[in-house]
Structure 1
């Protein structure tokens, strides 16, 4: 919230943040990311949870990000989830420069609108297909979101898809056993692709939606993001799927 006499940050306007809808996640982008999770300056992103001069409580671990929205776009899901989980830190990773800038500015403006609004949500520019272990430690996350990922329709570009055989082990690394991956798309072929890839991986198991009736996230998957609302306005059906991180398999005998 803005201090007395200070002007509250204004929400960004999309017309100043126009960018192409697609980005090549395998290209060499100019990105800044930590060499390891311990090097990340979380206090800069979440100052309300790291007050200056505040001493850590003995025996109590510092706050850690637990939710990650991969390809968070304009930050709609983070805005929706922030008040539902006010004590949970959540981070969006977005590869497109101007879109990431919009989401970050949007969340900072939300913080200035009133106490307790948006202080637990932040966005950074990052490549989820390359740098997840640079941001998160093993088993750190309890929820991962992959909402309306780019379908990359052309077959030669299928390797650009966010869900792929190379990324799934990294998702399993940063997600703790029992944690959930939420996906939704309006592209039936991409839905089948994601279900097949998660289903073939030994660390994941699809969760019937009926088992998650009490999960407040599920009802917001299709409508929280700008892409989801666009699909809703067009009247197209959506295809959600949720996967649980299974326990690590026992080690092989020596």
Structure 2
């Protein structure tokens, strides 16, 4: 197979941009070890990031991402939410090389194959991806109180007790999530593993800067489309449905510090 040219999210993914990338050409292991020494480049501070490279249609707006999907996989949530919140910038964070490249190519293709002809008005201008290890570098990408939503959808359960330190929801990492989330911002978690659901809910409940918020309350606040996408838009979520499995949702609101 010919070597593919690496593209940015604002460039066409292939010479024939009407064809969306195929997942079969980007296959990789389901999970990556977050403690491995991955070859990553990351910004020294959020101020060092030029977000116009990711969102050229918003270059004059001065906006920064408000939604962050940590471990975004093949980008199902981002692609579902982008047209629903066209003025909200969204970023996916994915550590796996091939998977992040797929999402990047997918966004690039969607940007050039959707109408209207005016690039500024096309859908998917508000969504992008970075290859990053969120467990190590989240504050390098997001300033204090800059996010209104953080998503952790079907994360690696790390079943063995000695692997629990690698779970994406942990007492150590919750301080970082509280730092980047603005007061009132929401953490969305979902999994098909009851033990992991209990783990995430227990640690988030115990953390003083988060309070649980039920699904009905979020829907009453107008966040129903987000909840629906959390349940149904990801590849893992669709797999659970096909297999007749159960999904466990837990959401938490960032509260002001006292």
Q: TM-score, normalised by structure 2?
A: 0.89
* Aligned with residue 125 of structure 1, among 120, 124, 131: 131
Q: Give the Å deviation of 1:9.
A: 5.3
Q: Give the Å deviation of 1:197.
A: 0.6
CA distance in 1, matches of 2:18, 2:43: 28
Extract unaligned runs of 5+ from structure 1: 51-55, 250-254
* Aligned with residue 229 of structure 1, among 231, 238, 242: 238
1:10 aligns with 2:19: yes
CA distance in 1, matches of 2:11, 2:36: 39
CA distance in 2, matches of 1:40, 1:201: 30
Provide the residue aligned with 1:53 in structure 2: none
Root-mean-square deviation (Å): 1.6
Give the aligned length. 238
CA distance in 2, matches of 1:77, 1:2: 21
Show the 5 A alignment for 1:17-28: 17-28=26-37
CA distance in 1, matches of 2:18, 2:150: 29
CA distance in 2, matches of 1:91, 1:14: 20
Extract unaligned runs of 5+ from structure 2: 1-9, 116-121
Provide the residue aligned with 1:71 in structure 2: 71
Q: Give the Å deviation of 1:2.
A: 8.9
Provide the residue aligned with 2:3 in structure 1: none
Q: Deviations over 1:162-190 (max 9, x none)?
A: 10111100000000000001110000000
1:191 aligns with 2:170: no
1:204 aligns with 2:207: no
Q: Give the Å deviation of 1:7.
A: 4.4
Native 8 Å contact 1:9 1:108 kept in 2: no
1:86 aligns with 2:92: no
Show the 5 A alignment for 1:1-254: 7-8=16-17, 10-50=19-59, 62-115=62-115, 116-213=122-219, 214-215=222-223, 216-249=225-258
Native 8 Å contact 2:11 2:108 kept in 1: no
CA distance in 2, matches of 1:90, 1:230: 24
Native 8 Å contact 1:168 1:198 kept in 2: yes
Q: Where in structure 1 do 4 or more consecutive aligned residues deviate above 2 Å?
A: 6-10
Q: Give the Å deviation of 1:64.
A: 1.1
Deviates more, 1:137-146 or 1:15-24: 15-24
Q: Give the Å deviation of 1:219.
A: 1.6
